[in-house]
């Protein structure tokens, strides 16, 4: 009598695509808050951020509670991969922009949004150092959040998908930021922003791809059952 072959799973069953997208709403919510502020609530970044974080947080908790333990572990690993990749990618993004401005005669300030974020979060009357700290932390949260969102949504991280992800962020930046920041040097802003986002995407893809390959079990996309 011939024994039937045993099919072993390639890894822990990951969350379904719709579940991953729902989980990604939380890390992407701070970036969405910036868009809401620019388009609809120009006097406050705090309330759009609070509302979007609260709503996406409730969604993430509800989705997570419905996941079986293996899928929950797989999603958790992707969040950690996104955080590590996000730290590296955000540093690369800011370092490249800083080097470009230092090495060229361009007048654009690559960090002009930091104090603006801070004032819209804690108030225009707050002390300067507090404004800068709040704005810098919010910028860092955006960089990490975009990376975690990428790691959750994209099944198999890589350089191409990460660069495309970063260029989508660049498109939103160029569409929304020039008028909001009131910068006259649109060409310089575009050049600095594009090169910064390319550095972000390449670093994000390289780190996320490396970490995913190093931890295949539980990595989203390792199971043939994933849609």
220 pLDDT band, cuts 50/70/90, is low
- Tell me, yes or no, whether 90 lies in a domain: yes
- The predicted structure's pLDDT at residue 182: 87
- Tell me, yes or no, whether 25 lies in a domain: no
For residues 131 and 117, is the Cβ–Cβ distance under 8 A?
no
- 4-13, 15-24, 177-186 — which one is most confidently predicted on average? 15-24
- Tell me, yes or no, whether 125 lies in a domain: yes
- Tell me, yes or no, whether 4 lies in a domain: no
Rounded CA separation 103/192 (Å): 12
If you average pLDDT over residues 100-117, what whole number do you get?
94
What are the C-alpha distances in Å from 67 to residues 41, 57, 82?
Answer: 35, 15, 20
For residues 21 and 28, is the Cβ–Cβ distance under 8 A?
no
Radius of gyration of the chain (CA): 20
Rounded CA separation 222/132 (Å): 42
Domain of 93 in residue numbering reads as 72-214
Sign of CA pseudo-dihedral 177, 181, 187, 192: negative
Using DSSP's 3-state secondary structure scheme, residue 138 falls into helix
Cα angle 119-193-137, degrees, rounded to a multiple of 5: 35
- Tell me, yes or no, whether 139 lies in a domain: yes
Helix, strand, coil % over all residues of the chain, rounded to 5: 75, 0, 25
Separation of CA 197 from chain center: 12
For residues 132 and 111, is the Cβ–Cβ distance under 8 A?
no
- Tell me, yes or no, whether 121 lies in a domain: yes
Rounded CA separation 122/135 (Å): 9
Using DSSP's 3-state secondary structure scheme, residue 162 falls into helix
pLDDT per residue as tens digits for the range 115-148: 999 999 999 999 999 999 999 999 999 999 999 9
- In the chain, how many domains are there? 1
- Tell me, yes or no, whether 154 lies in a domain: yes
- The predicted structure's pLDDT at residue 1: 44
7 pLDDT band, cuts 50/70/90, is very low
- Tell me, yes or no, whether 81 lies in a domain: yes
What mean pLDDT is reported for the chain?
A: 90
Residues found in the chain: 227
Rounded CA separation 20/220 (Å): 9
């Amino acid at each position: 009598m011939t024994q039937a072959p045993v099919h072993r799973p390639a890894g822990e069953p990951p969350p379904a695509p719709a579940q991953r997208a729902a989980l990604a709403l939380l890390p992407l919510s701070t970036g969405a808050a910036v868009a809401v502020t620019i388009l609809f609530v120009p006097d406050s970044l705090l309330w759009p951020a609070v509302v979007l974080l609260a709503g996406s947080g409730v969604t993430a908790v509800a989705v997570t509670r419905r996941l079986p333990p293996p899928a929950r572990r797989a999603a958790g690993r992707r969040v950690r991969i996104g955080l590590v990749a996000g730290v590296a990618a955000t540093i690369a993004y800011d370092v490249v922009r800083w080097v470009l401005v230092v090495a060229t005669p361009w007048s654009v300030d690559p960090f002009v949004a930091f104090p603006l974020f801070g004032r819209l979060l804690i108030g225009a009357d707050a002390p300067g150092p507090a404004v800068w700290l709040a704005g810098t932390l919010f910028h860092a949260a955006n960089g990490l959040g975009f990376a975690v969102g990428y790691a959750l949504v994209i099944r198999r991280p890589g350089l191409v998908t990460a660069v495309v992800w970063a260029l989508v962020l660049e498109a939103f930046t160029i569409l929304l930021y020039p008028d909001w920041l009131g910068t006259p040097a649109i060409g310089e802003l575009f050049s600095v922003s594009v090169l910064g986002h390319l550095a972000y995407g390449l670093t994000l893809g390289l780190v996320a791809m490396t970490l995913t390959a190093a931890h295949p079990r539980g990595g989203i996309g390792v199971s043939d059952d994933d849609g």
